[in-house]
Structure 1
Amino acid sequence: MKKSFAALGLLSLGACASPYVGTPYTAPAVPVTSVAIVDDTLADDAVAYEAASTMGNFGLIGGLIDAGVQASRKDRVNDALESVNHTPEANFEAFLIEALAEANIEAAMLEGPDREKRKFLESYPTAPAGVQALIDFNVTTYGYVNAGNQMWRPTVAADVKMIDAGTGKTLMENRIVYNAVDAQAGVVTIAPNPDYVFQNREDMISQPERLAEGIDVALKEVANTAVRLMR
């Protein structure tokens, strides 16, 4: 239940919240052409969250029932994704490396510790020789969300940081959200692709290939957007 409420907090980036303040890209003296991407980029499971569920309006008991419904839906969606061997982390890392290559930046994965929490790492592994910058990409949430009596659409929320491998200086830091429930000032937002819309849970789990494809499209858009911010 705690994970369900946490997911809602990540997706509901309300206008009443304090504006997010990122760090625009500051180009070093020598243009970056070689980077290493820190490992463990995605959360373990996809979400399937209904942001305004009717049952949650009926006090504690209703909230507990609602949390159970949300958890059951999430489990079914992840089972459907597993049935088609969906590998979101590997796919996302491939999208990111491809987007960097198109920007003439060579990239490789850098093995490192798994995140205990979905936050930026406090310390980074030593970069291989020749690597100019590290990219810490933390996808905090991915999956599907229903903003309340609407259709289910893919969503991704991610924080990205680019660090100078030599000095440790932050060259860029931003938050990117694909299909935010509420857009928060300062966050880079991406509108969802209208081709990936589902009516309900049964519609989602009965089309696992399309379900997985919608997530991959969202992850690729987030990767492409991040690389555009690194210029």
Structure 2
Amino acid sequence: MKKSVAAIALLGLSACAKPYVGTPYTAPAAPVTSVAIVDDTLPEDAVAYEAASTMGNFGLIGGLIDAGVQASRRDRVNEALDSVNHTPEANFESYLVSALAQSGIAAVMLAGPDREKRELLSDYPGAPQGTQALVDFNVTAYGYVNAGNQNWRPTVSADIKMVDALTGKTLMENRIVYNGVDAQAGVVTIAANPAYVFENREDMITQPERLAAGIDDALRRVADTAVRLMR
């Protein structure tokens, strides 16, 4: 439950919060044509969060009931995704490698330790010889969100950092949010695809293939957006 709350806090980016300040891409002397992507890009489970659930307005007891309802919904959604053997991390990494290739950048996956927290890494494993840059892509949360008495739509929140493989200098750092609860200044935002809308939980879990397709579509759009930021 604590992990779900932390993930949703990252999705609920308040317009009143301090503006996010990224680092625009700074091209090195030689154009980047080869990168290594650090592994463990996605958390284990998808979220399924209703941003304005009414039970949360009734004090401690209401909040506990609400948390239980939210957790139950999340579990059912993940069970539905498991039923169709959904592999979001593998899919996302494939989208990212493909998007880079279309931009003339060869990419390999770099095995490394699992993240202790859903944060960008402070230390990076060694890259293969000839690699010019490391791409640290940390999806902090993905799944579905209902922004309050609305339909359910896919959502993704991610931080991305690109560093020079030799010097460790940051070449680019940004935050991307697909269908976040609130907009935050400085964050790259992507609107939800209207093709993947669900009315309620039953609508989601009875259409697991479409449920998974909505997440994959969101992840693909995030990958494409990230690569556009790398130039």
Superposition TM-score, scaled by structure 2 size: 0.99
Q: Distance in 1 between matches of 2:175 and 2:93?
A: 17
* Alignment partners' CA distance in 1, 2:169 and 2:4: 35
User: Deviation digits for residues 45-74 of structure 1, max 9, x if unmatched?
Assistant: 000000000000000000000000000000
Which residue of 2 is the match for residue 204 of structure 1?
Answer: 204
Q: Deviations over 1:159-185 (max 9, x none)?
A: 000000010000000000000110000
User: How far is 1:197 from its partner?
Assistant: 0.3
Counterparts of 1:1-231 in structure 2, within 5 Å, are 1-231=1-231
Letter in 2 for 1:61: I
Amino acid at match of 2:26: T
Q: Please report how far the alpha carbon of residue 11 of structure 1 lies from its aligned counterpart in structure 2 after TM superposition.
A: 1.1
Residue pair 1:50, 1:145 contacting (<8 A) in 2 also:
yes
Q: Is the 8 A contact 1:160 1:174 kept in 2?
A: yes
List runs of 5+ in structure 2 lacking aligned partners: none
- Measured after TM superposition, the shift of residue 5 of structure 1 is 2.2
What amino acid does structure 1 have at the position aligned with 2:182? D
Question: In structure 1, what residue type is equivalent to 2:173?
Answer: E
How far is 1:3 from its partner?
A: 2.4
Deviations 1:70-97 (CA, angstroms, capped at 9, x unpaired): 0000000000000000000000000000
Q: Which runs of 5+ in 1 are unaligned?
A: none
* Number of residue equivalences: 231
CA contact (8 A) 1:4 1:67 kept: no
Letter in 1 for 2:207: Q
Shift of 1:37: 0.2
Query: Scaled by the length of structure 1, what TM-score is found?
Result: 0.99
Aligned identity (percent) is 80
Q: Distance in 2 between matches of 1:3 and 1:50?
A: 16
Give the residue type in structure 1 aligned to 2:58: F
